[in-house]
A and B are shown apart, each in its own frame.
Chain A
Amino acid sequence: GQQLNQSPQSMFIQEGEDVSMNCTSSSIFNTWLWYKQDPGEGPVLLIALYKAGELTSNGRLTAQFGITRKDSFLNISASIPSDVGIYFCAGQESSGSARQLTFGSGTQLTVLP
């Protein structure tokens, strides 16, 4: 299947710091999605991106769909303790295809007080 390279694998940051993580793919995607997973729960959609170059914000979160359509990044500003969790990127090849959602391996975020 497709491969998504997500980095970093883990991050330890101080409360109040900004965070950046990214995903790259060897293939072109038409949709990029960012999810957050709390321990023992299912992932929850944070941001969806549908056009190359698109920059979208959701509160303190900002994500961008890369111009090449092979990458995306997620920024979190002014981190707080509840930002702790695993963040996943996901790419979809075509909106009409039911199965073509590929996930990155996740970024484990720890926020230190």
Chain B
Amino acid sequence: DGGITQSPKYLFRKEGQNVTLSCEQNLNHDAMYWYRQDPGQGLRLIYYSQIVNDFQKGDIAEGYSVSREKKESFPLTVTSAQKNPTAFYLCATVGWTGKGYTFGSGTRLTVV
């Protein structure tokens, strides 16, 4: 079945470290997104990419970086510049029909 795979499910980071969250899709969708979710808040857009080798900043891009070298993959790096990285991170895609987003199952990142 087609879908989105996010890994790992849980990730622990020491302060000062960079960590990379994986997002892989086999839906053949062009657009991919990264969202951050904090308790009691909606989803906030970090970065998005409409095509390979192109991506744009969302509303809270500071302290994060992405790449889009393949259509299937859109990894997110949480850098040491992100001062409050503990959150639930969601990857999503949209196909050409634009009928809503398909989400992955998320990665919970905790700073220890």
A residues lining the B interface (CB < 8 Å): 1, 4, 6, 9, 31, 33, 35, 40-45, 48, 88, 90, 92, 95-96, 98-99, 101, 103-106
Nearest 8 A/B pairs, CB to CB: A42-B103, A103-B42, A105-B42, A103-B43, A45-B100, A98-B31, A98-B50, A95-B98
Contact: A99 with B106, CB < 8 Å? no
Contact: B56 with A99, CB < 8 Å? yes
Contact: B59 with A1, CB < 8 Å? yes
Nearest B-chain residue to A9, judged by Cβ? B40
Contact: A99 with B48, CB < 8 Å? yes
Contacts of B41 in A (CB 8 A): 105-106
Q: What are 30 A-B contacts defined by CB distance under 8 Å?
A: A1-B45, A1-B59, A4-B42, A6-B42, A31-B98, A33-B100, A35-B100, A40-B106, A40-B108, A41-B105, A41-B106, A42-B6, A42-B92, A42-B105, A43-B101, A43-B103, A44-B103, A45-B100, A45-B101, A48-B99, A48-B100, A88-B42, A90-B100, A95-B98, A98-B48, A98-B50, A99-B48, A103-B43, A105-B41, A106-B40
B residues lining the A interface (CB < 8 Å): 4, 6, 31, 33, 35, 40-43, 45, 48, 50, 56, 58-59, 90, 92, 94, 98-106, 108
A75 to chain B, nearest CB (A): 19
- Given A41-B105, A45-B100, A48-B100: A88 and B48 interface contact (C-beta under 8 Å): no
Nearest A-chain residue to B50, judged by Cβ? A98
**Most chain A beta carbons < 10 A, residue from B42, B101, B104:** B42
- Given A33-B100, A99-B58: A106 and B31 interface contact (C-beta under 8 Å): no
Nearest A-chain residue to B43, judged by Cβ? A103
